[in-house]
Structure 1
Amino acid sequence: MSLNGKVAIVTGSGQGLGLAYARELARQGAAVIINDVNPDTAAQAVAIINADGGRAASVVAPVGTAEAARALVAGAVENFGGLDILVTNAGILRDKSLLKMTDEDFDLVINVHLKGTFTCVREAFAHFKQNAIPGRIITIGSPTGQRGNFGQTNYAAAKAGIVGMVRTWALEMKKSGVTVNSVIPVAATAMTKTVPYFQKAIEADEMGRSMPSFFRHDLGFGTAQDVAGLIAFLASDQAAGITGQAIGAGGDRLQVWSHPTAATTEYREGGWSYQALQDNALRLFGHEALQSYGEDLLPLPEELRPEPAQAQ
Structure 2
Amino acid sequence: MSLSGKVAIVTGSGAGLGLAYAQELARQGAAVVVNDVDQATADAAVASITEAGGKAVAVVVPVGESEAAEQLVSAAVENFGGLDILVTNAGILRDKSLLKMSDEDFDLVVNVHLKGTFTCVRAAYAHFKENGVAGRIVCIGSPTGQRGNFGQTNYAAAKAGIVGMVRTWALETKKAGVCVNAVIPVAATAMTKTVPYFQKAVEADERGESMPAFFRHDLGFGTAADVAGLVAFLSSPQAEGITGQVIGAGGDRLQVWSHPEPVATEYHEGGWDYEAMQSEGAALVRGNLQSVGEKFLPLPDELAPEQQA
TM-score by length of 2: 0.99
- Number of the residue aligned with 1:129: 129
Match of 2:300 in 1: 301
Q: Aligned runs of 1:179-198 on 2, under 5 Å?
A: 179-198=179-198
Q: Which residue of 2 aligns with 1:261?
A: 261
Tell me by how many angstroms 1:285 deviates.
2.2
The secondary structure found in structure 1 opposite 2:133 is coil
Which residue of structure 1 lines up, in the alignment, with residue 237 of structure 2? 237
- Amino acid across the alignment from 1:302: D
* Percent of aligned pairs with the same amino acid: 76
Give the letter for the 1:224 counterpart.
A
**Which string of whole-angstrom CA distances, capped at 9 and with x for unpartnered residues, describes residues 216-254 of structure 1?**
011100000000000000011000110000100000000
The CA deviation string for residues 189-208 of structure 1, in whole angstroms up to 9 with x for no partner, is: 01111111001101111112
| Corresponding position of 1:23 | 23
> 1:170-203 CA distances to partner (integer Å, 9 max, x unpaired)?
0000000000000000000011111110011011
Q: Shift of the alpha carbon at 1:283?
A: 2.1
The unaligned stretches of length 5 or more in structure 1 are: none
Residue pair 2:181, 2:246 contacting (<8 A) in 1 also = yes
Match of 2:142 in 1: 142
Structure 1 residue 282: deviation in Å?
Answer: 4.6
What are the Cα deviations for residues 67-124 of structure 1, in whole angstroms up to 9, with x where unaligned? 0000000000000000000000000000000000000000000000000000000000
Distance 2:90 2:19 in 1: 11
CA contact (8 A) 2:272 2:281 kept: no
Q: Per-residue deviation at 1:269?
A: 1.1
**What RMSD in Å do the two structures reach over aligned CA positions?**
0.9
> Is 2:277 the partner of 1:277?
yes
Alignment correspondent of 1:62: 62
The 2-side partners of 1:285 and 1:180 are apart by 34
Deviations 1:284-306 (A, max 9, x none): 122x4111111111110111001
Q: Which amino acid aligns with 1:57?
A: V
Secondary structure of the equivalent of 2:308?
helix
Distance 2:238 2:16 in 1: 27
For 1:85, the equivalent position in structure 2 comes to 85
Number of residue pairs matched by the alignment: 309
Looking at structure 1, the residues matched to 281 and 133 of structure 2 have their Cα atoms a distance apart, in angstroms, of 53
Deviation string for 1:131-184 (max 9, x for gaps)? 000000000000000000000000000000000000000000000000000000
Distance in 2 (alpha carbons) for counterparts of 1:269 and 1:278 = 15
Task: Select between 205-214 and 150-159 the one with higher mean Cα deviation.
Answer: 205-214
User: How far apart, in 2, do the equivalents of 1:149 and 1:69 lie?
Assistant: 29
Using the alignment, how far apart are the partners of 1:150 and 1:282 within structure 2? 27
Partner of 1:13: 13
Q: Which amino acid is the alignment partner of residue 81 of structure 1?
A: G
What is the rounded CA distance, in whole Å, between the counterparts of 1:193 and 1:166 in structure 2? 29
SS at 1:309's partner residue?
coil
CA distance in 2, matches of 1:39, 1:139: 24
Show the counterpart of 2:36.
Answer: 36
SS at match of 1:9: strand
Partner of 2:206: 206
Q: Would you say the 8 A contact 2:92–2:109 is kept in 1?
A: yes
Query: Which 10-residue stretch deviates more, 191-200 or 80-89?
Result: 191-200
Q: Are 1:118 and 2:109 counterparts?
A: no
Within 2, Cα distance between the matches of 1:99 and 1:153? 10
The answer for the alignment partner of 2:52 in structure 1 is 52
**Using the alignment, how far apart are the partners of 2:148 and 2:207 within structure 1?**
32
Aligned equivalents of 1:33, 1:123: Cα separation in 2: 15
SS in 2 for 1:79: helix
Distance of 2:285 and 2:176 partners within structure 1? 44
CA distance in 1, matches of 2:127, 2:89: 19
Q: Name 1:247's counterpart in structure 2.
A: 247
Give me the whole-angstrom Cα distance separating, in 1, the residues matched to 2:157 and 2:281. Answer: 29
Q: Give the whole-Å Cα distance in 1 for the aligned partners of 2:116 and 2:102.
A: 20
Give the Å deviation of 1:281: 4.5
